[in-house]
Structures are given as structure tokens and as C-alpha cells.
Structure 1
Amino acid sequence: MTMNRLKRRLASAVAASGIVATAVLGGAATASATDAQPGTPQGNYCLQALEGGPAKCFASEQALESHQAAAAITPLLTVFDDVNYTGGYKNYYRTDGRAYCDDDVTVNEASSGDLSKDFFSTGSTVNKDITSFVIKAYSYCVVTVFDQTGFLGNHPVPKASNCPDMRTCFASGSWNNKVRSLAVT
């Protein structure tokens, strides 16, 4: 069977099942329909479309990365629950796959108005637990963090660069473990 024919059969089977699945054929790692769990997260490695819809969770980091590579998904922002970009992480990305932000700072590119609904790869909630973050290089994005849900409350000047330690990244003082919503513009 040719590679193209195999790909078409896989696509037909996935479409018929209604489950999002990706596979990288030809010797690379494969994420199967059983790796992706729509609805309630079943694995520790999840993607969540910020516009709504079910989370897609995977049993391993390798399966998640295979899915992202196959879908050309590039996170604009990755937050971590420990300093120096360590510990659990959560990616925020555009669902259209773009890897940059527009010039219009009023448009939320990859944002979350309530971090209590977001979870790190370790399973703990992102709400009031962000300690460091990385903005995708050359994305022209800035991050604004807020101490209340719904993009309300106090917020420091937006940050356009990586932050290895939320205790020292903002001139207005420590923002370690205070963030309850964030906007990437």
C-alpha cells in the first residue's frame, strides 16, 4: 500500500470516529486516536483551544509533541510553575496555527480570562501559580497579567520578553503566584 493511500485511510478512519488524532508516518512517533482524549482531561499533557471546545490530552509528552508538530501548532506563551522555566508547564497558542501576534494590542491572541480552568502538565491548576514564562521568540507578542479573573484588577506593564522569575521581572514588584488571568496581544 502506498504512503498516500495509507494516509487517506487513516484520515477516513479518524473522520468517521469523530476523534481528533494525528499520526506521523514513516518511522516517527505516532499519536493514535486513543492518545487524544476529548472532554475531561485523561492525560497530563493537554492542549486547550482558548475559544472553547474540549481539551485534547495525551498520555505522554512525546504524543503531545507529535500532535503539535503534525498540526503545526506553535505556542505563543508557555508558563511554568517554577523558576527558570522548570516544573509543570502550560502552553497558550493560537488555534489557527499562527506563530506571531498582530500589531493591534487590543486583540487577544492567546489568552485566558480564568486560570482556575487551566492546568499545568503536572495536573495542578495554573491559577495563582505562575512562577516563570517564555514568549515565543520573534512573535511580537506581549503578555499582560492580572490579579483578578476576566482581565481585571491590578496589572503590571505588559512584558515582551521572557521572565525566569516572576518575583523580579516586573518593576512594580513581585507577581509570583498572583496571576489569575492573562492576555497575549
Structure 2
Amino acid sequence: MRRHGVVAVFAVLLAVVFGGQPASASAESHGDYCVQALEGGPATCFASEQALESYQTAAAVAPLLTVFDDVNYTGGYKNYYSAYGRDYCDDNLTPNEASSGDLTKDFFSTGAKVDGDITSFVIRAYSYCVVTVFDQPGFHGNHATKASNCPDMRTCFAGGSWNTKVHSLAIT
């Protein structure tokens, strides 16, 4: 069974820790890197991906998915986070806020682009998340779905190799 209500509890915790609001305010004044609770409400935005990741780290947010640019979870990595501390996926099949419809905007820890270079990935344990990879941006094109870790994109999917073919990914 998936957990519900964690987002609301964490939002209250954030309000207490950050004095009634998250550390940043609206998208208009702070940038294009945003998080927002699935229930709606104001987005919390930052000027850079690094600032957003620092905020999530400070809020003790764990990634739902980590992708790597080499087999067996090695090389550069990129974490995909849910907003406001959610460490699970729900029953909704719509891509959640940790998804990326355009991997050209994402970079591994080494500075290399994620687009077309994912070679392995780890799904957060007990998150109930499923990852769907697409060969085109915007969650379009051919796709494959996996509900467990993938140490080598050449062999993880029944339909053949997805090594270096992923251009968008949905986390549901």
C-alpha cells in the first residue's frame, strides 16, 4: 500500500523550520528551477539547479531516482527528487514532479549531459515508483517501463537495449 499524507506532514514541518514558508518564494522572482506539492499551491523556485538541490538536501529530501552515465551505478550521476520530501510514488500514472520531459536540460555530476547518456539507474527502495523511459523528448516515442533497478541499460528491458537512447523519463 502506498503512503498518503506524508506531503502534508512534511509541508507543516517545512513551515515550522522555515518560518511559515519554504526558503524561497514565487517563480516570478527566483528562477526556473521549481518544486511544487502535487496538491498544488505555490511553487518554490530557484535561479539554478544547484540552488534547488541544496534546498532539497537541506530539507532532507531523498531522490526517487538516480541515473548514472556508466554501467553498474558508476560514473557521473543525476538525482531526480520529488517536491517537499515525498519519498514515494502514488497510484497516479501521470508523470510526477520528479520526471523530466527534456533531458537536454539535465546534467550528471561530472557536467556531462544526461540526454542520451543514461546507462544505469537506481529507484529509491520501497518508493513504489516505476520508471518509464522514452526515446523522444516530452514523454513521446517508443518507451519501456521498469519497476526495479537497472545496472545495465543494454540488458534490463525485454524489448532490447535502451543504453544511450533515453531523451525523457517519467517517474510514476
- How many Å separate the matches in 1 of 2:132 and 2:31? 28
TM-score, structure 2 normalization: 0.71
SS of match in other structure, 1:96:
helix
- In the other structure, the counterpart of 1:169 is 156
Q: Do structure 1's residue 57 and structure 2's residue 50 form an aligned pair? A: yes
The alignment covers a number of residue pairs equal to: 139
1:139 aligns with 2:127: yes
- CA distance in 1 between partners of 2:72 and 2:48 (Å): 27
Structure 1 stretches of 4+ moved >6 Å? none
Instruction: Kindly state the Cα deviation for residue 109 of structure 1 after the two structures are TM-superposed.
Output: 4.1
Distance between the aligned counterparts of 1:112 and 1:78, measured in 2?
A: 12
One-letter amino acid of the counterpart of residue 182, structure 1? L
1:57 CA displacement: 2.2
* 1:184 aligned partner: 171
Percentage of matched positions with identical amino acids: 69
Looking at structure 2, the residues matched to 120 and 174 of structure 1 have their Cα atoms a distance apart, in angstroms, of 21
- Kindly report the root-mean-square deviation, in angstroms, between the aligned alpha carbons of the 2 structures: 2.6
Higher strand residue share? 2
Establish whether residue 76 from structure 1 lines up as the match of residue 64 from structure 2.
Answer: yes
Amino acid in the other structure paired with 1:81: D
What residue is the counterpart of 2:115 in the other structure?
A: 127
Which of 77, 97, 100 aligns to 2:85? It is: 97
State the shift of 1:142 in Å: 0.1
| C-alpha deviation, 1:56, in angstroms | 4.0
Q: Which segments of 5 or more consecutive residues in structure 2 lack a partner in the other structure?
A: 1-17, 25-29, 37-42
> Rg larger in 1 or in 2?
1
Secondary structure of the equivalent of 1:155? strand
The residue type equivalent to 2:147 in the other structure is A
* In structure 1, C-alpha distance between the alignment counterparts of 2:148 and 2:48, rounded to whole Å: 28
Instruction: State the one-letter code of the partner of 2:129.
Output: C
TM-score when normalising by structure 1: 0.66
Structure with bigger RCO (C-alpha 8 Å, 6+ apart): 2
Distance in 2, matches of 1:125 and 1:118, equals: 6
